[in-house]
Amino acid sequence: MEFKKKLKQRLYIAVSYIVIGLVLIAADALNHFENHYFASFGMALIVMGILRLIRHRKVTKDEAAIRRQEVAETDERTLMMAEKARSWAFTYSILIAGIAVIILSLLGKHDTAQPFAWFVCGQVVLYWICWLILRKKY
Amino acid sequence: MKTRIRELRKMRKLSQEELAEAVGTTRQTITSIEVGKYTASLPLAWKIARFFGMTIEEVFDFSEFEE
């Protein structure tokens, strides 16, 4: 039941993408902006919305398909892998940015190194905030 | 972690797909548990054990945690 609600929400999101895309294209056409940023963005949203609708239709074909999708999305091993992948991505992004700071500093490119240094600091601060929240929660 | 899932499944002539469907997981998860690459969570272990009409200790081997 909960999953069906989730699927319905996804359907609404897909329709919203299409509507927002159409609004952006209309705004672009009516205002004659210099570059067609709004129209391109709107078109991208429409394509995303249509793809989501196709996927939604495929997933909600019948009860068995819905059940299969629910199992695939809530499977504990899949969730564990997704969490591990996020954790690895976070760790490696900090590591790579840290190495970039050191290399760029050694090369004397301090201006380029600075955003990377801020990024590392931001990530570490965010990590500790998340850790404190989780410690309180569990 | 060692388990008796494959043995119990074979005894009942069940496929991994059928067991996965019965306990609400994927075939890949059952495969990983059977070969010891993944350790099932407590709720899933309970579901698997209950499916075979056994206790968790009868299906999963906890000897490696004994001191």
Residue A31: the pLDDT is 83
Closest chain B C-alpha to A70 CA, distance in angstroms: 9
Please state, in angstroms and as integers, the Cα–Cα distance from residue A26 to each residue in A73, A83, A125, following that order.
37, 40, 42
pTM here is: 0.77
Of the residues B26, B30, B37, the best mutation for testing chain A's interface (the one with the most A CB atoms within 10 Å of its CB) is: B26
Please provide the CATH number assigned to the domain covering B5-59: 1.10.260.40
Six-digit token string for A19 = 């509507």
Residue B55 tokens, joined: 């206790």
Q: Does B26 touch chain A (CB under 8 A)?
A: yes
Q: What are phi and psi of B3, to 5 degrees?
A: -140, 170
The string of pLDDT tens digits covering residues A52-109 is: 999 999 999 888 889 889 998 899 999 999 999 999 999 999 999 999 999 999 999 9
User: Domain locations in chain B?
Assistant: 5-59
